[in-house]
Amino acid sequence: MPADASPLGFRQRPAKPLLEVDRLRKTFSHAGAAAVERVSLALGEGELLALLGPSGCGKTTTLRMIGGFEDPDEGSVAFEGRDITHLPPEARGIGFVFQDYALFPHLSVLDNVKFGLRKLPRAQAQARAEEMLRLVGLADLGKRRPHQLSGGQQQRVALARALAVAPKLILLDEPFSNLDAKMRVETRQEVRKLLKETGSAGILVTHDQEEALALADRIAVMDAGRVVQMGTPDEIYRNPVSEFVANFIGRSNILTGTANGMNVQTAFGNLPMSRAANGAVTLAVRPEQIMLDADPNGAAIITGREFRGHDQIYWVQEGDDCLIVISGPGQQHAIGTRVTMRICDCVVPLT
């Protein structure tokens, strides 16, 4: 386990945090429960953090409080060691990329990027804007208007405008949601590369688990206004702390068993666990951890199959339980085949 991580995946604050969010709380008058319930997190310089969760979990409200677009009922936000909790957005020194990009339709691409540089001498602002357009690969499109660009190009203009003022932190609110699937994959890698090249830290709000896993250095999983787990993508995928996290980050089969230290007795036999527990436990088993062996006398039967090229998904029924299994393209079983199932890795006890 990393030195800065707890058994539940809540990593300690970076040694010198760029941003410190302490117990933020926000309630809207039309809602009964708090939209954000005492959220705390810290972000290091150059780090990319994803706020991940379902719609209505409080991730966008959290981002807006960090950016100054919502005032918290309780808690504080500190940036570079100074309290910015009640400062307006323009006084925080933080960049913001909106979901709809918020480009000015009457301005050229170059003038959109120059907009935040109005305090600089004209020649310096021009040079900086041109530099940023080169950085995002749009050097030849500076004279165009936003409506003449594709969605991915508009997203890069919005990012160039945010980066032009050289912020140490950029907030991104669902920035890829308006792009098609192929463009989303390409653009998110460009964004990660740009942020790493410029040294800017970033907080990304998303409901897309694949996006969070691919882009972020750390992920804060949110549910019902709270951060329920925080850690690296690998930590959260391999060691979810609850059934909610196990099912929200990828797919999981939920089993039960009786634990004794680092082992658990299940319907699949005695299995190793990723962390110690005792007594009755609920377990998360990833679909790729299960192996299928064709067996005419097997207790399980394949009831569904979905071929996806690089792998395939099987739905396997054993008694009252239906499990999901993912295997490579070479292992093919027809629907109706009887099989024996084996679990080939540590299983995860859930709290």
pTM: 0.85
Co-location of 262 and 328 in the same domain:
yes
* CATH classification of the domain holding 181: 3.40.50.300
Q: Which pLDDT score, from 0 to 100, does residue 8 have?
A: 42
Tell me what pLDDT residue 108 has: 94
Label the pairing between strands 300-307 and 338-343. antiparallel
Q: Are residues 316 and 257 in the same domain?
A: yes
Same domain, 293 and 192: no
Same domain, 59 and 194: yes
Q: Is residue 65 part of a domain?
A: yes
Question: How big is the CA angle at 174 (ends 125 and 236), to the nearest 5 degrees?
Answer: 120
> Please, is 73 exposed, middle or buried when counting C-beta atoms within 10 Å of its C-beta (0-12, 13-18, 19+)?
middle
The residue among 198, 224, 245 that closes a domain is 245
Q: Is residue 294 part of a domain?
A: yes
Tokens of 26: 């926000």
Write down which residue in 194, 218, 245 finishes a domain. Answer: 245
> Is 63 contained in some domain?
yes
Backbone angles phi, psi at 247, to 5 degrees: -90, -20
Statement to judge: residues 216 and 72 lie in one domain: yes
CATH value at residue 293 = 2.40.50.140
What φ, ψ does residue 159 adopt, rounded to 5°? Answer: -70, -40
Domain that holds residue 272: 253-350
Indicate the residue among 212, 245, 278 that finishes a domain. Answer: 245
Are 183 and 308 part of one and the same domain?
A: no
pLDDT of res. 225: 94
Kindly give the parts of the chain with pLDDT less than 50.
1-11
Residue 155 lies inside a defined structural domain of this protein: no
pLDDT reported for residue 236: 94
In a domain, residue 272? The reply is yes
Q: Who's near 277: CB < 8 A, 6+ residues apart?
A: 259, 261, 264, 349
79 & 174 share domain: yes
Rounded Cα–Cα distance for residues 67 and 82 (Å): 14
Helix or strand run (H / E) with residue 339: strand 338-343
Longest Cα–Cα distance in the chain:
80
Residue 85 in any domain: the answer is yes
Element housing 120 (H / E): none
Q: What is the pLDDT of residues 138-195, one digit of tens each?
A: 889 999 999 999 888 888 898 888 888 888 999 999 888 777 777 788 778 888 888 8
Q: How many domains does the chain have?
A: 2
Query: Residue 24's Cα: distance from chain center in Å?
Result: 20
Residues facing 170 on adjacent strands: 95, 202
